[in-house]
């Protein structure tokens, strides 16, 4: 038996809060680079207060030539547990830029050496289901067979299901097949970390997430899925010739099926997310005139604890000493 120890997730949520608050000033202004830069700057500065010895394994930015916390960058105070860190200061930069729902700021943490390194892989095919359906999901099964099996495991009819799919040209056939089964669809332009979490959240209307999304986002999602249960099945799915050539040159296996357990091979994970633009997953930053209100999710894999946090921030007092700029 162990006495309660420190939950680093409660430190990490202050980092995602800072990033969300800082970039939310750019909501709907059409400049995703400026919004992302604000989040990156706030996240990097806030990490300096977290008592961990972190190295970024999953850093966003290379694929889109955006501002980034780069792979290999050291974060934290250099104290305590040595960890791998996955970050996405703004998951859904276009969602932020155009004022669309479900932009979030996200961090995942796991013991050093436990995170899958995607190397030159940017995209992977994914299937995410709740815990009740983890044993029936099959990445290679026909869409209709998969959805019927998942529906049975959830005690639902197929036409009760809601499937999260990214609204991309590559998913034209997938969308047709889902509709043919009678299942319902939520189409989202971006944000497949949020989509994965919706699929495993028992309070959310989404039952399944299907389709090809980001490889870094897959590793981030795995940190959360290991904490709350559910199943992710994935396979690297390069979308452009340059990505395919880079994977071949690196000798990367693109045929094997990955799971949340191979993407993060420890259940001692932490995950924190703060809503930016609001939506069905997390409510967004709301400025009140006197301050701001944020809504966050914190998960700890070791204990399976989920916390939903509403923070009321007195910006006038905070800005008297904060190095992070929120105005």
93 carries a ligand binding annotation: yes
3-state helix, strand, coil in the chain (%, to 5): 35, 25, 40
73 carries a ligand binding annotation: no
**Beta partners for residue 185, in sequence order:** 163
How far apart, in whole angstroms, are the C-alpha atoms of residue 198 and residue 206?
Answer: 6
pLDDT digits (tens, 9 = 90+) for 207-227: 999 999 999 999 999 999 999
Contact 264, 226 (CB under 8 A): yes
pTM of the model: 0.92
Half-sphere exposure of 145 (CA within 13 A, CB side): 7
195 carries a ligand binding annotation: no
245 carries a ligand binding annotation: no
pLDDT digits (tens, 9 = 90+) for 125-139: 999 999 999 999 999
How far apart, in whole angstroms, are the C-alpha atoms of residue 184 and residue 158?
Answer: 9
pLDDT band with cut points at 50, 70 and 90 for residue 63: very low
60 carries a ligand binding annotation: yes
Contact 312, 289 (CB under 8 A): no
145 carries a ligand binding annotation: no
**Beta partners for residue 163, in sequence order:** 185, 208
Over residues 16-37, mean pLDDT = 95
How far apart, in whole angstroms, are the C-alpha atoms of residue 298 and residue 306?
Answer: 6
H-helix segments, 110-231: 143-154, 172-181, 192-200, 215-228
pLDDT at 6 over 90: no
91 carries a ligand binding annotation: yes
pLDDT digits (tens, 9 = 90+) for 140-169: 999 999 999 999 999 999 999 999 999 999
pLDDT digits (tens, 9 = 90+) for 282-319: 999 999 988 999 999 999 999 999 999 999 999 888 88
170 carries a ligand binding annotation: yes
CA distances (Å), 311 to each of 122, 275, 301, in order? 34, 11, 23
Domains of the chain: 8-115+268-319 (3.30.540.10), 123-263 (3.40.190.90)
DSSP class of residue 180? H
168 carries a ligand binding annotation: yes
How far apart, in whole angstroms, are the C-alpha atoms of residue 121 and residue 117?
Answer: 9
Q: Counting beta carbons within 10 angstroms of the beta carbon of residue 5, is it exposed (0 to 12), middle (13 to 18) or buried (19 or more)?
A: exposed
């Amino acid at each position: 038996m162990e006495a309660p120890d420190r939950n680093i997730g409660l430190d990490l949520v202050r980092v995602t809060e800072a990033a969300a608050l800082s970039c939310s000033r750019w909501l709907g202004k059409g400049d995703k680079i400026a919004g992302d830069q604000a989040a990156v700057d706030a996240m990097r500065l806030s990490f300096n207060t977290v008592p961990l010895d972190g190295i970024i394994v999953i850093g966003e930015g290379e694929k889109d030539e955006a501002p980034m916390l780069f792979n290999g960058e050291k974060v934290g105070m250099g104290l305590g547990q040595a960890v791998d860190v996955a970050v996405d200061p703004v998951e859904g930069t276009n969602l932020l830029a155009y004022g669309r729902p479900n932009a979030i700021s996200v961090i995942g943490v796991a013991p050093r050496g436990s995170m899958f390194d995607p190397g030159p892989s940017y995209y992977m095919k994914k299937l995410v289901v709740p815990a009740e359906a983890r044993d029936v999901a099959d990445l290679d099964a026909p869409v209709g067979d998969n959805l019927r099996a998942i529906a049975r495991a959830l005690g639902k009819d197929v036409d009760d299901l809601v499937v999260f799919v990214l609204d991309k040209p590559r998913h034209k056939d997938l969308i047709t097949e889902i509709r043919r089964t009678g299942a319902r669809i939520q189409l989202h332009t971006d944000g497949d970390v949020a989509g994965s979490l919706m699929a495993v959240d028992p309070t959310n209307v989404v039952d399944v997430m299907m389709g090809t999304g980001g490889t870094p986002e897959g590793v981030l999602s795995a940190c959360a899925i290991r904490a709350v249960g559910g199943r992710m099945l994935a396979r690297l799915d390069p979308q452009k010739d340059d990505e395919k050539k880079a994977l071949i040159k690196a000798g990367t296996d693109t045929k094997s099926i990955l799971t949340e357990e191979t993407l993060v091979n420890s259940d001692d994970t932490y995950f924190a997310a703060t809503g930016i633009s609001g939506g069905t997953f997390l409510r967004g930053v709301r400025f009140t005139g006197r301050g701001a209100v944020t809504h966050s999710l914190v998960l700890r894999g070791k204990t399976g604890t989920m916390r939903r946090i509403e923070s009321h921030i007195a910006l006038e007092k905070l800005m008297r000493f904060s190095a992070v700029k929120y105005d």
